């Protein structure tokens, strides 16, 4: 566990509801070494996205702990967790979450500029070329197809060379062919950069490409396997 | 992630530049531009107009500021103000006998230097009733005389008269003296000489009753400093006279116009504030995802908030720059339009409205845009995974506190009466809360009604009812826009009607004084033959108030109080059976006509003007002693009256009971109207009654009418500006609420609704929104107009039935603007809208 980049110990999340406390995640534990990939799989409502949020420090667990890049997230406040994300984390979302008001290049430049990168434009252009969008640099993102938008999101996620990439249903909004090409790209760049990948999906085929699998059912960890 | 302020600023500017095409930024930008442009246009316009009007008002003083005293101003007093770069003149006024070989006559002699008058011009003629010449002043050795002196001393131009030890040649007949217009009834006829001749007359001796006046004119700021300097070094016998002493009608008209302009500014700013609040809200809502993403990228809560605040700050600065520029050109254009009507020498405006414009936009942003922005700092980063997560709403105290603070700062900057405006705001806020709650429950109760209605109604009302609090907020915002516009229209009509009533077309334009008792009946019938509007004839006696409740009056009054002047001169007293028209009893009772009491042990009865009574500190039942023609008359105050000093009728501070005064030596006076072309009739009347002085106040009335016409025009223009701002803000405001409607319309169309159904449902929704806003605006307008009339303008308040048009107007206006804004739904493919293209 010495080279663990991400670990979870007895993670639980409970939320208040009209019928008392509702447990949406119950006693989840695992650890990931640098460069590993983990697929979190399960049906809708099984707690996959909740777990992703806790692992990325977007939310805090009701009990248990998450250690990300050596930082115990439970002991950090919101701004300290944000600093950890800035230094170590990248995201890809099912809904892409690109900023409509910016073009493709500007969307990728944004995290680089926030991180004070010396030449954000060059780096963003290289990444967009890498994801096959050399002809779409100045396009408004709302005029791009779904596949193209997710490529921009991939370029943005890898722009700051994060240690851990969290991907929430990255192909969920795409047809199978486009989805496949996006997942190819995701795993290729992941391999090139040696990024640790945490992938939330209900697509078994996509999950099969990861080294580790964690299956959730009604918030409980029912299975953890390694390829 | 540690970012420096400069990095944040750079990032914010880049972000702003990249997002410059987004509609919410444009709307916010234009809302701010409108706010700054309207406040700085009105600011520039009002400032310059006020200065122009003051120039005109200054003509009634012949200066902008005067130091008057019974002795000459001390050299050390004048030394302190030499550097102020002001024009200055001097006059000395005293009573003296004019002597010719054939007779003598008491005159009010005024010695003027070569700079008099500093404002306005003397008018004179070279023959009785001949063509007027404007300008000039008596040169050394010359005397200019009133027509009355020429007639009573049977003089010709070129004749010689003696004043004290000096001889003067009569060279002109004075027809208009600017600074005498303010005091129309200074009965002693005027003789004007050059100040250089004053020593030669040898009239002024120690103890003589003399009025020395040092006049100044010039730049407003320098005058303000002068006033301060003079106030600090004022001697007991001296008094500062400003424009407020010139002419009561002009200064009250200017005061009201200034209040109106300031209120119009506040209305324009409120309108823009509504637009800023609505569009800032939209700006913030559109950035929830962006804020969540930034937090995911590692930006701290504080930096995220700063990032958006800086964007808005830059936007506000740009909008202020453009707004003030537009404001500057708009006021230039306004003055260009009015070139023929306004005085040619309008002073250039200061830079203050520029600064005010920028400050306005900053304060408005802080007050109205900060609360929705703060939400961006509170956004949970988890929103990237759970899109339904909304930021916690800012604390209520912050929301309302910032709005109240912003309004307070804006009011302070507009010099509005804080107490009044606070009352207006608190009253308005209270009314808004009550009406808003009523509206909320009204909307909720519509649910029952809705179930049985057509699909079009269910669709349109469904939208309003789903978020009743939001709908109430929108309705209130639109109501505020309609209210501001209606209130400004309302006040304009009232002010104009009020001024019209003050100066009716046939207002008396002549005063006749010194009518001897023997001439009274003949003069009255001669007057009725030529004039369509004559005031009653009043007896006039001169008397001085010497004691109050049998104590010397001077001991009871602060020596520096203005009322001391009243005690130091003879008052025009009268008696009459009937309460004069335009007078109203406010305390005590007017005497019954048949009451006759004049026994040795019963004091005389007097009715006193209420303001004078207040300044003297007396009321009904107190006793006043008047010294009249060598005899003291002890009088008990039986009533207090208000007097309309603007009525152009003979008006009196003190009226005696007629049954007691019949034997006192007196003359009579009246006022009457003669049309301009009746010159010959006036000359005939003057010739038939040579001892009667007929004073023409045509010039004064003309000037008053001119000033009021200009102020009226200014008010009309400002009104147009406020209305234009109102309509623009309404469009901007409505536009900011359209996104959701457009989306929903597209969805309904995608589900198969016809264009007709969609149009019908949207029309219903907008009409209801507009009608509710109009209804609130109507009630709000009546409440605020009541407060304003009562406390700001001293006007009588009555309900305004035409305001019932507001709900209809609101429905029409909002339907038109709304349908125009949502036409996109009807024209483009629903798929395009749903995909966000």
Domain boundaries in chain A? 4-226
Q: How high is the pLDDT of residue B416?
A: 63
Q: Which of chain A's residues have a Cβ under 8 Å away from the Cβ of B19? A: 101-102
ipTM score of complex: 0.82
**In terms of pLDDT, which residue wins out, A163 or B686?**
A163
Residue of B1, B3, B293 lying closest to A97 (CB–CB): B293
HEC readout, B356-406 = HHHHHHHHHHHHHHHHHHHHHHCCCHHHHCCCCCCCCCCCHHHHHHHHHHH
Q: How confident is the model at residue A12 (pLDDT cuts 50, 70, 90)?
A: very high
Residue positions counted in chain B: 837
H/E stretch holding B641: strand B631-642
Residue of A78, A87, A101 lying closest to B22 (CB–CB): A101
Kindly state whether B13 is in contact with chain A, defined as any CB-CB distance less than 8 angstroms: no
Give the chain B residue nearest A112 (alpha carbons).
B297
- Measure A83 CA to nearest chain B CA, in Å: 5
Count CB-CB contacts under 10 A for residue B723.
17
* Under 8 Å between Cβ of B98 and B144: no
**Contact: B1, A100; criterion CB under 8 Å:** no
**Contact: B385, A49; criterion CB under 8 Å:** yes
- In whole angstroms, what is the distance from residue A188 CA to residue A185 CA? 5
Give the chain A residue nearest B8 (alpha carbons).
A114
Lowest mean per-residue pLDDT among A53-62, B26-35, B129-138, B631-640: B26-35
**In terms of pLDDT, which residue wins out, B324 or B452?**
B324
Kindly state whether B296 is in contact with chain A, defined as any CB-CB distance less than 8 angstroms: yes
Kindly state whether A30 is in contact with chain B, defined as any CB-CB distance less than 8 angstroms: no
How far from the centroid of its chain's Cα atoms is residue B767's Cα? Answer: 37
pTM of the model: 0.65
Residue of B22, B381, B385 lying closest to A52 (CB–CB): B385
Lowest mean per-residue pLDDT among A66-80, B123-137, B328-342: B328-342
Q: How high is the pLDDT of residue B694?
A: 77
- Angle at which helices B805-821 and B755-788 cross, to 10°: 140
Mean pLDDT of chain B: 80
- Single out the residue of B392, B398, B395, B396 nearest to residue B379, CA to CA: B392
Instruction: Please tell me what DSSP assigns to residue B678.
Output: -
Q: How high is the pLDDT of residue B691?
A: 72
Q: Which of chain A's residues have a Cβ under 8 Å away from the Cβ of B11? A: 113-114
**Contact: A58, B3; criterion CB under 8 Å:** no
Residue of B18, B289, B296 lying closest to A85 (CB–CB): B296
Lowest mean per-residue pLDDT among A63-77, B566-580, B588-602: B588-602
- Measure B735 CA to nearest chain A CA, in Å: 18
- In whole angstroms, what is the distance from residue A206 CA to residue B557 CA? 99
**Contact: A86, B301; criterion CB under 8 Å:** no
Asked whether residue B349 carries a pLDDT value surpassing 80, the answer given is: no
Asked whether residue B184 carries a pLDDT value surpassing 50, the answer given is: no
CB burial string A55-76: b at 16+ within 10 A, e below: bbbbbbbeebbbbbbebebbeb
Determine which of A56, A77, A98, A110 to mutate to test the interface with B (most B C-beta atoms within 10 Å).
A110
**Contact: B289, A49; criterion CB under 8 Å:** no
Extents of the domains making up chain B: 1-60+249-416, 65-246, 418-504+699-837, 510-696
Instruction: Please tell me what DSSP assigns to residue B536.
Output: P
Asked whether residue B451 carries a pLDDT value surpassing 80, the answer given is: no
**Contact: A53, B289; criterion CB under 8 Å:** no
pLDDT, one tens digit per residue, over B12-26 is 998 888 888 887 788
pLDDT, one tens digit per residue, over B637-667 is 999 998 877 677 788 888 988 777 767 788 8
Mean per-residue pLDDT for A44-73? Answer: 91
**Contact: B22, A59; criterion CB under 8 Å:** no
**Contact: A101, B382; criterion CB under 8 Å:** no
Residue of A95, A100, A111 lying closest to B297 (CB–CB): A111
**Contact: B299, A86; criterion CB under 8 Å:** yes
Q: How high is the pLDDT of residue A6?
A: 93
Q: How confident is the model at residue B594 (pLDDT cuts 50, 70, 90)?
A: low
Which position has the token pair 């507001």?
B806
- In whole angstroms, what is the distance from residue A38 CA to residue A196 CA? 8
Q: How high is the pLDDT of residue B254?
A: 67
Lowest mean per-residue pLDDT among B205-209, B357-361, B393-397, B527-531: B393-397
Asked whether residue A2 carries a pLDDT value surpassing 60, the answer given is: no
Kindly state whether B26 is in contact with chain A, defined as any CB-CB distance less than 8 angstroms: no
Lowest mean per-residue pLDDT among A161-165, B72-76, B717-721: B717-721
Asked whether residue B497 carries a pLDDT value surpassing 80, the answer given is: no
pLDDT, one tens digit per residue, over B122-179 is 888 888 777 778 889 999 999 999 887 887 788 888 999 999 889 999 999 988 888 8
The number of CA neighbours under 13 Å toward the Cβ of A130 is 23
Asked whether residue B185 carries a pLDDT value surpassing 70, the answer given is: no
Q: Which of chain A's residues have a Cβ under 8 Å away from the Cβ of B293? A: 97, 99, 110
Mean per-residue pLDDT for B266-280? Answer: 76
Q: How high is the pLDDT of residue B837?
A: 44
Lowest mean per-residue pLDDT among A96-100, B244-248, B481-485, B651-655: B244-248
* Under 8 Å between Cβ of B811 and B770: yes
Q: How high is the pLDDT of residue B415?
A: 61
Residue B797 in 3-state DSSP? coil
**Contact: A106, B290; criterion CB under 8 Å:** no
Tokens at B761, concatenated:
């449902």
**Contact: B298, A142; criterion CB under 8 Å:** no
Mean per-residue pLDDT for B798-821? Answer: 88
- In whole angstroms, what is the distance from residue B548 CA to residue B313 CA? 64
- Measure A183 CA to nearest chain B CA, in Å: 19
- Single out the residue of A43, A88, A175, A116 nearest to residue B2, CA to CA: A116
Kindly state whether A148 is in contact with chain B, defined as any CB-CB distance less than 8 angstroms: no
Asked whether residue B808 carries a pLDDT value surpassing 90, the answer given is: yes
Using only C-alpha atoms, chain A has a radius of gyration, in whole angstroms, of 17
Q: What is the CATH number of domain A4-226?
A: 3.40.50.300
Tokens at B464, concatenated:
């309003």
Q: How high is the pLDDT of residue B674?
A: 86
Asked whether residue A1 carries a pLDDT value surpassing 60, the answer given is: no
Highest mean pLDDT pick, B301-310, B425-434, B732-741, B747-756 = B301-310
Q: How confident is the model at residue B533 (pLDDT cuts 50, 70, 90)?
A: confident
- Single out the residue of B827, B786, B781, B777 nearest to residue B807, CA to CA: B777
Q: How confident is the model at residue B560 (pLDDT cuts 50, 70, 90)?
A: low
Cα distance from N-terminal residue to C-terminal residue, chain B: 35
Determine which of B296, B306, B392 to mutate to test the interface with A (most A C-beta atoms within 10 Å).
B296
- In whole angstroms, what is the distance from residue B224 CA to residue B402 CA? 34
Q: Which of chain A's residues have a Cβ under 8 Å away from the Cβ of B836? A: 100, 142
Instruction: Please tell me what DSSP assigns to residue B218.
Output: -
Kindly state whether B392 is in contact with chain A, defined as any CB-CB distance less than 8 angstroms: no
Asked whether residue B270 carries a pLDDT value surpassing 90, the answer given is: no
Residue B189 in 3-state DSSP? coil
Which position has the token pair 């990255």?
A170
**How many CB contacts within 8 angstroms connect chain A with chain B?**
86
Mean per-residue pLDDT for B736-760? Answer: 74
- In whole angstroms, what is the distance from residue B114 CA to residue B91 CA? 10
Which position has the token pair 């009772």?
B589
**In terms of pLDDT, which residue wins out, A86 or B702?**
A86
- In whole angstroms, what is the distance from residue B720 CA to residue B349 CA? 21
Instruction: Please tell me what DSSP assigns to residue B415.
Output: T
Q: Which of chain A's residues have a Cβ under 8 Å away from the Cβ of B294? A: 114
- Measure A100 CA to nearest chain B CA, in Å: 9
Lowest mean per-residue pLDDT among B372-376, B585-589, B657-661, B825-829: B825-829
Kindly state whether A102 is in contact with chain B, defined as any CB-CB distance less than 8 angstroms: yes
A196-201 and A37-41 as β-strands: parallel, antiparallel, unpaired?
Answer: parallel
Asked whether residue A123 carries a pLDDT value surpassing 90, the answer given is: yes
Kindly state whether A86 is in contact with chain B, defined as any CB-CB distance less than 8 angstroms: yes
* Under 8 Å between Cβ of A111 and A159: yes
pLDDT, one tens digit per residue, over B95-120 is 888 888 888 888 889 999 999 999 88
Widest CA span of chain A, in angstroms? Answer: 54
Q: How high is the pLDDT of residue B150?
A: 85
Residue of B7, B18, B384 lying closest to A93 (CB–CB): B384
Kindly state whether A25 is in contact with chain B, defined as any CB-CB distance less than 8 angstroms: no
């Amino acid at each position: 566990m010495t080279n663990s980049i991400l670990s979870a110990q007895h993670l639980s999340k409970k939320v208040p509801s009209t019928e008392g406390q509702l447990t949406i995640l119950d006693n989840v534990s695992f650890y990931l070494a640098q460069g590993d990939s983990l697929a979190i799989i399960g049906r809708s409502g099984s707690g996959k996205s909740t777990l992703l949020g806790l692992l990325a420090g977007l939310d805090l667990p009701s009990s248990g702990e998450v250690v990300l890049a050596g930082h115990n997230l439970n002991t950090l406040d919101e701004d300290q967790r944000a600093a950890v994300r800035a230094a170590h984390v990248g995201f890809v979302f099912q809904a892409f979450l690109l900023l409509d008001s910016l073009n493709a290049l500007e969307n990728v430049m944004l995290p680089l500029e926030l991180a004070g990168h010396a030449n954000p434009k060059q780096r963003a252009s290289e990444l967009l070329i890498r994801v096959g969008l050399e002809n779409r640099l100045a396009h408004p993102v709302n005029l791009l197809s779904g596949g193209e938008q997710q490529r921009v999101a991939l370029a943005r996620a890898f722009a700051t060379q994060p240690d851990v990439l969290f991907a929430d249903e990255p192909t969920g909004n795409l047809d199978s062919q486009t989805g496949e090409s996006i997942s190819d790209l995701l795993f290729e760049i992941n391999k090139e950069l040696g990024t640790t990948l945490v992938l939330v999906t209900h697509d078994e085929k996509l999950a099969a490409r990861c080294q580790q699998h964690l299956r959730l059912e009604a918030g409980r960890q029912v299975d953890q396997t390694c390829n | 992630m540690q970012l420096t302020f400069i990095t944040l600023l750079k990032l914010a500017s880049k972000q702003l530049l990249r997002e410059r095409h987004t509609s919410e930024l444009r709307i916010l930008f234009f809302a701010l531009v409108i706010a700054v442009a309207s406040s700085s246009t009105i600011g520039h316009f009002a400032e310059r107009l006020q200065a122009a009007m003051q120039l005109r008002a200054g003509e009634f003083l012949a200066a902008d500021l005067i130091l008057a005293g019974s002795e000459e101003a001390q050299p050390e007093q004048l030394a302190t103000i030499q550097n102020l770069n002001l024009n200055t003149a001097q006059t000395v006024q005293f009573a003296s006998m004019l002597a010719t070989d054939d007779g003598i006559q008491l005159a009010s002699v005024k010695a003027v230097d070569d700079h008099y008058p500093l404002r306005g011009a003397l008018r004179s003629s070279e023959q009785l009733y001949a063509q007027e010449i404007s300008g000039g002043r008596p040169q050394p050795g010359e005397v200019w005389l009133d027509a009355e002196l020429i007639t009573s001393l049977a003089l010709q131009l070129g004749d010689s008269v003696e004043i004290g030890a000096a001889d003067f040649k009569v060279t002109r007949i004075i027809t208009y003296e600017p600074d005498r217009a303010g005091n129309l009834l200074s009965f002693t006829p005027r003789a004007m000489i050059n100040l250089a001749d004053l020593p030669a007359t040898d009239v002024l001796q120690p103890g003589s009753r003399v009025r020395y006046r040092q006049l100044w004119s010039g730049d407003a700021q320098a005058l303000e400093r002068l006033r301060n300097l003079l106030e600090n070094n004022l001697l007991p016998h001296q008094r500062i006279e400003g424009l407020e002493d010139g002419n009561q009608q002009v200064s009250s008209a200017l005061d009201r116009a200034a209040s109106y302009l300031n209120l119009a500014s506040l209305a324009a700013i409120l309108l823009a504030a509504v637009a800023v609040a609505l569009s800032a809200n939209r700006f913030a809502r559109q950035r929830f995802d962006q804020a969540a993403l930034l937090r995911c990228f590692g930006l701290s809560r504080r930096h995220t908030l700063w990032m958006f605040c800086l964007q808005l700050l830059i936007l506000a600065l740009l909008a202020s720059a453009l707004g003030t520029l537009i404001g500057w050109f708009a006021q230039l254009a306004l003055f260009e339009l009015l070139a023929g009507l306004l005085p040619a020498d309008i002073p250039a405006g200061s830079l203050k409205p520029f600064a005010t414009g920028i400050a306005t936009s900053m304060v408005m942003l802080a007050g109205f845009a900060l609360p929705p922005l703060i939400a961006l700092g509170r956004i949970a980063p988890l929103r990237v995974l759970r899109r339904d997560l909304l930021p916690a709403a800012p604390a209520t105290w912050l929301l309302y506190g910032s709005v109240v603070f912003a309004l307070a700062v804006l009011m302070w900057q507009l010099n509005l009466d804080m107490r009044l405006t606070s009352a207006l705001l608190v009253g308005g806020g209270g009314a808004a809360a009550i009406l808003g709650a009523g509206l909320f429950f009204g909307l909720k109760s519509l649910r029952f009604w809705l179930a049985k209605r057509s699909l079009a109604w269910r669709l349109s009302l469904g939208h309003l009812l789903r978020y009743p609090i939001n709908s109430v907020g929108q309705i209130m915002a639109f109501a505020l826009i309609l209210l501001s516009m209606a209130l400004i229209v309302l006040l304009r009509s009232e002010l104009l009607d009020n001024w019209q009533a003050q100066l009716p077309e046939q207002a008396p334009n002549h005063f006749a004084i010194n009518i001897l008792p023997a001439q009274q009946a003949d003069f009255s019938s001669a007057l009725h033959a030529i004039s369509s509007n004559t005031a009653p004839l009043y007896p006039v006696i001169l008397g001085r108030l010497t004691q109050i409740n049998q104590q010397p009056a001077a001991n009871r009054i602060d020596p520096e109080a203005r009322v001391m002047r009243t005690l130091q001169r003879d008052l025009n007293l009268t008696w009459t059976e009937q309460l004069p028209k335009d007078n109203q009893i406010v305390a005590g009772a007017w005497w019954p006509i048949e009451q006759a009491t004049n026994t040795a042990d019963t004091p005389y009865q007097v009715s006193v003007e209420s303001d004078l009574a207040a300044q003297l500190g007396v009321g009904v039942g107190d006793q006043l002693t008047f010294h009249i023609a060598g005899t003291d008359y002890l009088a008990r105050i039986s009533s207090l009256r208000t007097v309309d000093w603007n009525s152009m009728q003979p008006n009196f501070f003190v009226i005696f009971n007629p049954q007691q005064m019949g034997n006192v030596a007196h003359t009579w006076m009246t006022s009457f109207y003669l049309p301009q072309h009746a010159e010959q009739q006036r000359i005939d009347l003057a010739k038939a009654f040579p001892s009667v002085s007929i004073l023409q106040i045509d010039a004064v009335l003309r000037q008053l009418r001119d000033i009021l016409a200009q102020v009226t025009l200014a008010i009309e223009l400002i009104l147009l500006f406020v209305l234009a701002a109102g309509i623009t803000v309404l469009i901007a405001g409505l536009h900011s609420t359209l996104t959701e409607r457009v989306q929903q319309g597209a969805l309904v169309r995608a589900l198969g609704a016809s264009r007709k159904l969609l149009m019908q449902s949207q029309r219903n929704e907008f009409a209801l929104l507009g009608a509710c806003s109009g209804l609130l605006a109507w009630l709000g307008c009546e409440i605020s107009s009541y407060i304003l009339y009562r406390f700001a303008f001293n006007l009588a308040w009555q309900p305004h039935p035409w305001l019932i048009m507001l709900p209809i107007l609101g429905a029409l206006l909002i339907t038109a603007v709304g349908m125009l804004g949502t036409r996109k739904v009807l024209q483009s493919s629903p798929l395009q809208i749903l995909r966000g293209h």
